[in-house]
Every structure is written in C-alpha cells, then in structure tokens.
C-alpha cells in the first residue's frame, strides 16, 4: 500500500497534469468523432436507397465502412507505433474528413460510385480514431487502466445523443443552399472531424510514449513481482511472428481478442435486425427508437463503472460477468414480443458489450510491452471489425432463413465463446496477472 501511494505521489509530481489533459482530449475526441460519424450513419440507408434505387442495398454502407475500418486498422496501429498516437489520430482525422467531403458532394450530384468510395474513407478514418482508447490506457498504471479507457469510451454517450440529433439541422442548412438535403449530414461530419482534429492537435501535444514508459517504470519499481509468478509481457522469439500469431500465442491477448470479437459480433448481429423484427410484428417507429435508445444507453452510460470494476475485481472475472450478461440478453430477446422485454434484451446486450469491449481493450494493453502495443492493437482491431462485418451481413440472412429465435440462439453461443477461451487460456502459475494489482 505504501509503495502504491508513493508511486501515485511521484506520478502526481511528474505527469499528472499532462495525463489529465490528454484524457480530456481523448474524451472530447471520442465524443465529437462519435457524433460526427453517427450523423452520417443515420442517413446512409436512405442515401443508398435513393442513389441506387434498391432497398436491398440498405446494409451496404455499413459493410463498406466496416471494410474500410478493417483495412485501415493494422496500418494505423503500426503508424501510431512509429509516429506516436497524436500524429496517427490526426492522419485518421484527415482520412475521415476526406470521406465526409466525398460523400457530401456525391450525394449533392447524385453519384453512387464516389459515394461508396467515400464510405470506405469514412470507415478507414473511424477505424483509426477508434484506437484513441488505447492511448488513455497507456498513460495510466495498470490498476487505473480500466477506468482511464472507460472514460474515453463514455464519450460515445454524448455522440450517440448529438449525432442523430444533428441530421435534421444539417439537412435544413444544405437545403437552404440549394443542395440535396441528405448531403448536409456528411458535410457536418467533415466539419465535426475538423474540430476533433484541432482538439487532438492542441490537447495531445505531449510525448505520450515517454509518459507511458515512465508510468510503467514507476509501477514496476514499486510493485516488484517474483520472476516465477510474472507473466512476461513479451514471449521469446515472438517478434518475428505475424501479428495474429502474437495475439494467439499470448494468453492474455488471446482472451482479450476473442472477448472483443465475440461481443462485437453478437451485439451487431442482434442490433442490426431488431428494427426489422419489431416492425414485422407491428411495432411502430417510436417503439423501435425506444429500444434503440435503451441499447445505446447500455453500451456507453455505464462505462465508468465498468472500468472501475475491471480494475478492482480483475480483467478475467469482469469478462466472465460481461459475457454472461450478453448471453442473458440473447436468452431474453425471443421470449416475448412486448416492447419492454425486447428493450431489456437489447439493453443487456449493450451493457455486456460495454463490459467486454472495455475490459478486453484493457487486458490487451496489459498483455504486451509498450513498443509492440500499437501494432498489435491495430491487428486486433482488424479482427474486431471483420467480426462486426460478418455479424452485420449475416444477421438479415439468418433472420429471413431461420427466424429470430435461431438468430438469438446463435448470438447466445457466440457470446459465451470468451468463457471457453478463458478456460483453455488459464494461467499456469499462481497469480499470473500482477498488473491487475491482485484485486481479484
């Protein structure tokens, strides 16, 4: 306890102000970027339907954005490892701004192909900016990482409220200039990302890697662990392996990756079809919106609490609890067609996703040495985005072919995958996760 207090005191003297400023900057970046991307995402189905004349293509924009995010995630991670988080995030802003502008002009002139290209750029920008959460984790000692990371993700709550609310005003402004109304949200996206870039440029003007190295050094010095009980941050010979193999061969990284993959796939699969499921059973749009709001509330509103729990009770236990919560949502979902029951199911799925996403991201940060983190976090983002795309594209097919009950059953099985991975990735020694300060 005395060592921990001494470490905190030294950190306060050295880097606390910079860490606080960076955390605020990352929170604002997440809030603004989330609002920006949701403003355009809200109208994507309407735009693609209008430009193509095909309602069946309504899911294509989401798939293209996820594809762009998947393609950009690993290069973005490597870039951040070399250039630093600040410049990597700024490049992500430039890509997203380009996507917003391309989409806006494409909608204005009625051009389908450029619009699809713009969506890929938007997705690539999002895939880069999503890695801002890892910067918050790096800047804090292991026993604070969950809270720091969750505070950044909590910014998504603001974006979830402001993004859709901006659609009508942005469309009205575009119409007042004689431009197609639906072009407005895309130009608004570009403007908001410019603001996010300014926040990054001003508030993240610091040596994040240097601060992170000092944090790790102080924590290691004040929390010595016997060599026989410490899980090494880097395994011998791992540097020459492919990034995916590095993730699979590190116990903590394997648990973290499969946790985020399963949670993302389940959440997207269940969320993507809930509006169709409800409208097929005569629910109105107000009820659909209510269920969606409850889901988003579960995803973001409890992030700070989840971060604290991840730090206090341990990463693996928090993952187990979160996976069970998602599974409970999948069990509840088909039990009734009443709006409160559907809303409860989607709320639980959102809450469980939040627990898996925050804790998995924190555990992944714990798993590797500082010099390798950004690259391997980027590789993990590729897998998570692929899982998201698969969940999105398969949900409608499964619903049409087998019905909502089967989709929920598949979601249940996928949601429980982290429990199996934890069982087969059990630490071999006593207290193999000293980075959690053994609160578990």
Residues 195 and 265 in one domain: no
Residues 249 and 193 in one domain: no
Q: Any idea what the Cα angle at residue 204 is, between residues 202 and 209, rounded to 5°?
A: 155
* pLDDT value, residue 439: 33
Residues 347 and 382 in one domain: yes
367 is a domain residue:
yes
Smallest CA-to-CA distance from 358 within 385, 386, 327, 322 is with 322
Residues 199 and 295 in one domain: no
* pLDDT value, residue 194: 97
| pLDDT per residue as tens digits for the range 361-419 | 999 988 887 777 888 888 888 888 888 888 877 877 888 888 889 999 999 999 999 99
Average pLDDT, the chain: 82
Residues 214 and 71 in one domain: yes
* pLDDT value, residue 335: 93
Domain final residue pick, 192, 224, 256: 224
Question: Domain containing 357: what range?
Answer: 239-440
- How many separate domains does the chain show? 2
Residues 78 and 194 in one domain: yes
CATH number at residue 33: 1.20.1250.20
343 is a domain residue:
yes
When mean pLDDT is compared over 83-87, 221-225, 290-294, 428-432, the highest value belongs to 83-87
* pLDDT value, residue 220: 60
pLDDT of 284 above 50: yes
pLDDT of 328 above 90: yes
88 is a domain residue:
yes
Higher model confidence: residue 221 or residue 161?
Answer: 161
233 is a domain residue:
no
pLDDT of 431 above 50: no
Report the predicted TM-score, pTM, of the whole model to 2 decimal places. Answer: 0.77
pLDDT of 55 above 80: no
Residues 9 and 158 in one domain: yes
234 is a domain residue:
no
231 is a domain residue:
no
Over the chain, what HEC string results?
CHHHHHHHHHHHHHCHHHHHHHHHHHHHHHHHHHHHHHHHHCCHHHHHHHHHCCHHHCCHHHHHHHHHHHHHHHHHHHHHHHHCHHHHHHHHHHHHHHHHHHHHHHHHHCCHHHHHHHHHHHHHHHHHHCCHHHHHHHCCCHHHHHHHHHHHHCHHHHHHHHHHHCHHHHHHHHHHCCCCHHHHHHHHHHHHHHHHHHHHHHHCCCCHHHHHHHHHHHHHHHCCCCHHHCCCCCCCCHHHCCHHHHHHHCHHHHHHHHHHHHHHHHHHHHHHHHHHHHHHCCCCHHHHHHHHHHHHHHHHCCHHHHHHHHHHHCHHHHHHHHHHHHHHHHHHCCCCCCHHHHHHHHHHHHHHHHHHHHHHHHHHHHHCCHHHHHHHHHHHHHHHHHHHHHHHHHHHHHHHHHCHHHHHHHHHHHHCHHHHHHHHCCCCCCCCCHHHCCCC
230 is a domain residue:
no
Residues 250 and 214 in one domain: no
- Tokens 């026993």, residue located: 143
* pLDDT value, residue 426: 66
Yes or no: say if 305 and 318 are a contact pair by the CB < 8 Å rule: no
Residues 220 and 352 in one domain: no
Residues 219 and 141 in one domain: yes
Residues 200 and 263 in one domain: no
Domain final residue pick, 195, 224, 253: 224
229 is a domain residue:
no
Domain final residue pick, 175, 199, 224: 224
Residues 282 and 205 in one domain: no
């Amino acid at each position: 306890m005395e060592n921990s207090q001494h470490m905190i005191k030294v950190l306060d003297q050295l880097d606390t102000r910079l860490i606080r400023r960076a955390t605020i900057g990352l929170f604002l970046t997440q809030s603004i970027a989330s609002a920006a991307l949701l403003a355009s995402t809200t109208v994507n189905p309407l735009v693609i339907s209008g430009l193509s004349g095909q309602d069946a293509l309504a899911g294509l924009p989401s798939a293209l954005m996820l594809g762009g995010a998947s393609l950009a995630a690993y290069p973005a991670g490597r870039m951040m490892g070399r250039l630093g988080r600040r410049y990597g995030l700024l490049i992500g802003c430039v890509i997203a701004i380009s996507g917003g502008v391309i989409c806006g002009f494409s909608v204005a002139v009625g051009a389908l192909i450029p619009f699809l290209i713009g969506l890929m750029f938007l997705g690539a920008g999002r895939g880069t900016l999503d890695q801002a959460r890892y910067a918050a984790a790096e800047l804090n000692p292991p026993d604070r990482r969950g809270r720091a990371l969750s505070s950044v993700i909590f910014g998504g709550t603001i974006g979830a409220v402001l993004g859709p609310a901006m659609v009508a005003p942005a469309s009205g402004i575009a119409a007042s200039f004689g431009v197609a109304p639906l072009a407005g949200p895309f130009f608004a996206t570009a403007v908001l990302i410019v603001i996010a870039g300014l926040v990054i440029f001003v508030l993240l003007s610091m040596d994040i890697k240097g601060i992170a190295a000092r944090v790790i050094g102080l924590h290691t010095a004040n929390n010595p662990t016997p060599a026989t009980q410490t899980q090494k941050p880097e395994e011998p010979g791992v540097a020459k392996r492919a990034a995916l193999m590095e993730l699979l061969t590190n116990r903590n990284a394997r648990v973290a990756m499969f946790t985020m993959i399963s949670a993302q796939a389940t959440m997207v699969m269940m969320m993507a079809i809930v509006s169709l499921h409800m409208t097929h059973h005569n629910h109105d749009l107000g009820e659909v919106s209510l269920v969606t709001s409850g889901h988003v509330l579960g995803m973001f509103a409890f992030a700070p609490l989840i971060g604290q729990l991840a730090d206090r009770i341990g990463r693996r236990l928090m993952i187990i609890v979160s996976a069970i919560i998602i599974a409970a949502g999948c069990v509840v979902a088909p039990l009734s067609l009443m709006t409160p029951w559907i809303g409860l199911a989607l709320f639980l799925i959102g809450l469980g996703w939040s627990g898996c996403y925050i804790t998995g991201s924190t555990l992944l940060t714990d798993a590797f040495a500082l010099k390798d983190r950004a690259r391997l976090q980027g590789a993990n983002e590729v897998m998570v985005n692929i899982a998201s795309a698969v969940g999105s594209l398969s949900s409608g097919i499964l619903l049409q072919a087998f019905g909502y009950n089967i989709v929920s059953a598949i979601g249940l099985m996928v949601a429980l995958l982290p429990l199996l991975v934890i069982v087969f990735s059990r630490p071999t020694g006593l207290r193999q996760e000293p980075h959690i300060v053994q609160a578990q």
